[in-house]
Amino acid sequence: MPGVCSSASESVSDWVRQVELANHLLEIGEFDRAAAVYTQALEHARSAGDDLRAGVVLQNLGRLHDRRGELRAAEKAYLRALAAFQHSNAPDDRLLVRTYASLSTVYIQAGQYSKADTLIRNVLANHPAGAVSDKASLMGSLGVVLGHKQQSGEAENLLRQTADMCANAPDLEMQEAGAVASANLASLQMRGGRTAEALASYRQALTIMEALPNPSPATFVATLADYAKAARNKGDRETAENMYLKSIAIAEARLGPKHVTLGRLLEGYAEVVRDAGRKSEARKLANAGRRIQNEWNRENMTGHTVDVNTLLQRR
C-alpha cells in the first residue's frame, strides 16, 4: 500500500512539473513547445482519470490559444475545461470563475457582446466563491460590454469602480485587472471626445502595466497603441510614433507575426507615417496590417456557436 501511495504522489508531482514548465514556456513566448508539454500533461491527467487536473490543463491551453489570437480554439479549450471541472468530484468555484472570466474575454474579442453579457451576469450572481481578482476582471469585462451597447454612463461607472477597487491591491492579478479597466475607461473617454481625460487614464494604466513583472502582452501593446492614437489626435506625432514602435516590437516578440493585434498596430502606425509624408512606407504598413487581420478574421470570426447557458445551468 505505501508503494501505491508513493507512486500516485510521484505521478502528481510529475504532472505539476509538466504544467509549471508549460506555463513558463507560454510566458516566454515558446508557444509550440508549451502546447506540446500541455498535451503531455493532459494525457497524464486523463490516464489517471482525474477530471480536475485535466480541467486545469485545458484552461491553460485556452490561455495559450487566446495569447496566440486563436479565438475558436481558445473557446473550445475553455468550454472543455469547464465541462471537466463540473464533472469532477468537487467542482471548485475559483477554477470555474477564472475559466468563465477568460471565456468572456474571448466572446468580447469575437464581438459577441450579448453572449459575454449573459455569461458574466450569471457568473457574478451564481459563483460567490470566485477569487476577487477574477470577479474584478468580470466587472471590467461587463463595463466593456455595456460600452459597446451604448450604455456609456453605466459602463464608465463600472470601469471606474473596478479601477478604484484594484488600485492599491497587493495582488498582482488585481493590479492588472485595474490597469485593464483604466485602459478601457480611456477608450470610452476617447469615444466621447474627452482626449485629455483619456490620455490621463491611459497613462495610469501603462504605469501599472509597466510595473508588473509579466503583464499580458496583448493587453499591454493594445494599451500602448491606444495611447499612441490619443497622442496623435492631440497632435503629438513624436509620442505617437514612439509608442507605436514600442508596441510593434513587443507584439512581434511576444505574440508572433500573425497575431491580429500586430495587424492592428501596423495599420495604426501607418496613419502616423502618412502624417509625416512617408506615403509609400505607410501604404506598405497598412497593406501588411490588413493582410494579417483578414487572415485572422477568416480563422476566428465564425464558429462560435456553443451556448454557455448549458454549462451555467449544471450547478
The per-residue DSSP string of the chain comes to -HHHHHHHHHHHHHHHHHHHHHHHHHHTT-HHHHHHHHHHHHHHHHHTT-HHHHHHHHHHHHHHHHHTT-HHHHHHHHHHHHHHHHHSSS--HHHHHHHHHHHHHHHHHTT-HHHHHHHHHHHHHH-TTS-HHHHHHHHHHHHHHHHHTT-HHHHHHHHHHHHHHHTT-S-HHHHHHHHHHHHHHHHHHHHTT-HHHHHHHHHHHHHHHHHSSS--HHHHHHHHHHHHHHHHHTT-HHHHHHHHHHHHHHHHHHT-TT-HHHHHHHHHHHHHHHHTT-HHHHHHHHHHHHHHHHHHHHHHSS-----THHHHTT-
Q: What is the pLDDT of residues 275-298, one digit of tens each?
A: 999 999 999 999 999 999 999 888
State what percent of residues in the chain have pLDDT above 70.
92
State what percent of residues in the chain have pLDDT above 90.
73
Tell me the average pLDDT across 70-90: 92
| Chain center to CA of 179 | 13
Confidence of residue 7 (pLDDT cuts 50, 70, 90): low
Q: What is the pLDDT of residues 248-277, one digit of tens each?
A: 999 998 888 888 999 999 999 999 999 999
Single-letter amino acid, residue 166: C
Q: State how far the alpha carbon of 244 is from the alpha carbons of 64, 69, 136, 219, 288, in Å.
A: 25, 20, 29, 14, 15
For the chain, list the domains and their CATH numbers: 1-130 (1.25.40.10)
Tell me the average pLDDT across 20-48: 92
Which residues neighbour 271 within 8 Å (Cβ) at sequence distance 6 or greater? 232, 282
Tell me the average pLDDT across 207-212: 94
Which residues neighbour 40 within 8 Å (Cβ) at sequence distance 6 or greater? 18
Specify the higher pLDDT residue, 101 or 5.
Answer: 101
Tell me the average pLDDT across 79-107: 91
The answer to whether residue 101 scores a pLDDT higher than 90 is: yes
Specify the higher pLDDT residue, 5 or 102.
Answer: 102
pLDDT the model gives residue 301: 64
Tell me the average pLDDT across 60-71: 90
pLDDT the model gives residue 190: 94
Confidence of residue 309 (pLDDT cuts 50, 70, 90): very low
Q: What is the pLDDT of residues 214-250, one digit of tens each?
A: 888 889 999 999 999 999 999 999 999 999 999 999 9
The answer to whether residue 38 scores a pLDDT higher than 70 is: yes
Residue 114 in grid coordinates = 450579448
Confidence of residue 315 (pLDDT cuts 50, 70, 90): very low
Mean pLDDT of the chain: 89
pTM: 0.82
The Cα 39–Cα 18 span in angstroms is: 10
